[in-house]
A and B are shown apart, each in its own frame.
Chain A
Amino acid sequence: MTFPKWGPRIPAALFAATAISLIGMGGDAWAHGMAGKDAAFVASSTGAQILPFFYLGAKHMATGYDHLLFVIGTVFFLYQLKHVAIYVTTFSIGHSITLLLGVLGGVHVNPYLVDAIIGLSVAYIAFDNLGGFKTLLGFQPNTKLAILIFGLVHGFGLATKVQELSPSRDGLVANMISFNVGVEVGQLLVLTAALALIVWWRKSSSFARQAVLANALFMTAGFALMEYQLAGYFTNGGG
């Protein structure tokens, strides 16, 4: 960089700006679900609607800061594309299983508790990123296994959002597969952009220090989401 003084901070600032705008894109930012005309579409459509459901899946993921924080946290310290692919695929397998199982199999789980665990998963991955378990507890729980398990929970989170809208049984399998593929594509798009930013950021001399701060903020966001959803659970009940 040719900006000696503040140049190295640009990637960090861009990253922060992107993260904030992602949260803003959520619309009803804190209660991330489908709303407005998207919800009306799902509730009223019957039969196979491949492209609309694909788009909704991609949109839901690309504007779903809770899922995105987790994915970005997962790849934050991965330096090889191969490893990124393995970790993200593990997450995708996990959430695809429960998304399809939840909606097609009619498995209902409490959305508040699921979203609380999704918040916890963000804090977990950030803590793990900083070597928290190994340093403080003396052992390293298998990260890929944790990502798979949290992936299952995220899938239930996706499923509850779709289930709330009572989609028609007619064409549901095709629609849910389209939705699921859309989720993966949306995730890939945002992940690509996030990775590009992170790779650039890593070149900065202050990355190491800022990375600790970033993960501390991820942890903060995760805990806040968890507490928010738990409050929803205790206020609005287990229903």
Chain B
Amino acid sequence: MTEERKAPSLKGTRLLAIAAAAFLGASAIFVLFILPAEFHRDPTGFGRLTGLDRLAGPEVVTVAAAPAGPNATARYYETALRSDSIEIMLPPGDDKGELEYKVKMRPGDTLTYSWNVTGDEAHPEWFYYDFHGESRPNPPDAKATVMEYKQSTGLTSSGALVAPFEGVHGWYFQNQSDKPLVVHLRLSGFYELVPPGEYGNEGKIEPQPRS
């Protein structure tokens, strides 16, 4: 001890006992309180018994997001989200009762959709659809690409699509019933509508005016 300090003088055994008690006391605080409350470690069960372990909250496991590319977990777009409502009339009969409606997407573009069919709710099996994407051949004598997503019957479908390649993506709808049907389609995401009459929208469907 330097002479400026006037500390009480203790015997060696007492001092040793104090230091040991301090260290053991600190370790008891550490094991009983700090470990369960801060580190999710509860070797004595004291944390569970007293509820201290709940202070630590759920244990967090950080997992990596898939990086950029076709499997990217998070995607970013230059354009704002768009939403469209489309109504497609499908009268009965072989020549008028079928139609393709698609939208333009680049690889990685995302859309979510929901559609339902009204007009003949009793016969869902009489409405057929083919959800797919295709690209125009370029140059014209090259092969066109088609990717099938889902072919089925039914009066409703909801889902999402991440475009696998540049092209038009959407549905072939076929009314096999004897009544006029209406498809109510809602789209949201990052895509472009095909102008009526162009490739992907040969049925000249106009979107509903925005409300």
- Give chain A's interface residues, CB within 8 Å of chain B: 30, 77-80, 83, 123, 126-132, 134-136, 140, 142-144, 208, 211-212, 215-217, 219-224, 226-228, 231-232, 235
Q: Confirm or deny: B39 has a beta carbon within 8 angstroms of a beta carbon on chain A.
A: yes
Q: A83-B4, A134-B1 are in contact. Are A212 and B10 (CB under 8 A)?
A: yes
- Chain A residues contacting B18 (CB-CB under 8 Å) are 130, 212, 215-216, 219
- Give chain B's interface residues, CB within 8 Å of chain A: 1-2, 4-12, 15-16, 18-19, 21-23, 25-27, 29-30, 34-35, 38-39, 41
A131 to B10, CA, bound (A): 8
Q: Offer 9 A-B interface pairs, CB within 8 angstroms, sorted by A.
A: A131-B10, A135-B10, A135-B11, A140-B2, A212-B18, A219-B23, A223-B26, A224-B25, A231-B41
Q: Is the beta-carbon distance between A212 and B22 smaller than 8 angstroms?
A: no
Minimum CB–CB distance from B6 to chain A (whole Å) comes to 5
Q: Is the beta-carbon distance between B4 and A131 smaller than 8 angstroms?
A: no
Q: Is the beta-carbon distance between A211 and B5 smaller than 8 angstroms?
A: no
Closest 6 interchain pairs by CB?
A: A223-B26, A219-B22, A224-B26, A77-B5, A227-B30, A83-B4
- Chain A residues contacting B15 (CB-CB under 8 Å) are 130-132, 135-136
- Chain A residues contacting B10 (CB-CB under 8 Å) are 130-131, 135, 212
- Chain B residues contacting A221 (CB-CB under 8 Å) are 26
A142 to B19, CA, bound (A): 20
Minimum CB–CB distance from A84 to chain B (whole Å) comes to 9
Minimum CB–CB distance from B17 to chain A (whole Å) comes to 10
Q: Of residues A128, A223, A231, which shows the largest number of chain B Cβ atoms within 10 Å of its Cβ?
A: A223
Q: Is the beta-carbon distance between B26 and A220 smaller than 8 angstroms?
A: yes
- Chain A residues contacting B26 (CB-CB under 8 Å) are 123, 219-224, 226-227
Known pairs A78-B4, A223-B27. 5 more at Cβ < 8 A? A123-B26, A130-B8, A134-B1, A140-B2, A223-B25
Which residue of the partner chain B has the closest CB to A137? B12
A143 to B3, CA, bound (A): 11
A231 to B19, CA, bound (A): 21
Q: A219-B18, A223-B22, A223-B23 are in contact. Are A208 and B8 (CB under 8 A)?
A: yes
Q: A144-B2, A227-B30 are in contact. Are A131 and B7 (CB under 8 A)?
A: yes
A228 to B10, CA, bound (A): 29
Q: A30-B38, A128-B1, A231-B35 are in contact. Are A77 and B6 (CB under 8 A)?
A: yes
Contact among A142, A212, A231 for B8, CB-based, below 8 A: A212
Contact among B1, B16, B29, B34 for A136, CB-based, below 8 A: B16
Minimum CB–CB distance from A57 to chain B (whole Å) comes to 27
Minimum CB–CB distance from A88 to chain B (whole Å) comes to 13
- Chain A residues contacting B27 (CB-CB under 8 Å) are 223-224, 227
Q: Is the beta-carbon distance between B9 and A131 smaller than 8 angstroms?
A: yes
- Chain A residues contacting B35 (CB-CB under 8 Å) are 231
A129 to B26, CA, bound (A): 18
A134 to B2, CA, bound (A): 10
Q: Is the beta-carbon distance between B34 and A224 smaller than 8 angstroms?
A: yes
Minimum CB–CB distance from A80 to chain B (whole Å) comes to 7
A226 to B21, CA, bound (A): 16
Q: Is the beta-carbon distance between A235 and B39 smaller than 8 angstroms?
A: yes
A208 to B16, CA, bound (A): 18
- Chain A residues contacting B5 (CB-CB under 8 Å) are 77-78, 83, 129, 143
A77 to B19, CA, bound (A): 18
Q: Is the beta-carbon distance between A132 and B29 smaller than 8 angstroms?
A: no
Which residue of the partner chain B has the closest CB to A142? B2
- Chain B residues contacting A144 (CB-CB under 8 Å) are 2
Q: Is the beta-carbon distance between A136 and B30 smaller than 8 angstroms?
A: no
A220 to B24, CA, bound (A): 8
Which residue of the partner chain A has the closest CB to B33? A224
- Chain A residues contacting B29 (CB-CB under 8 Å) are 220, 224
Q: Is the beta-carbon distance between B12 and A136 smaller than 8 angstroms?
A: yes
Minimum CB–CB distance from A60 to chain B (whole Å) comes to 21
A78 to B7, CA, bound (A): 9
Q: Is the beta-carbon distance between A135 and B8 smaller than 8 angstroms?
A: no
Q: Is the beta-carbon distance between B39 and A231 smaller than 8 angstroms?
A: yes
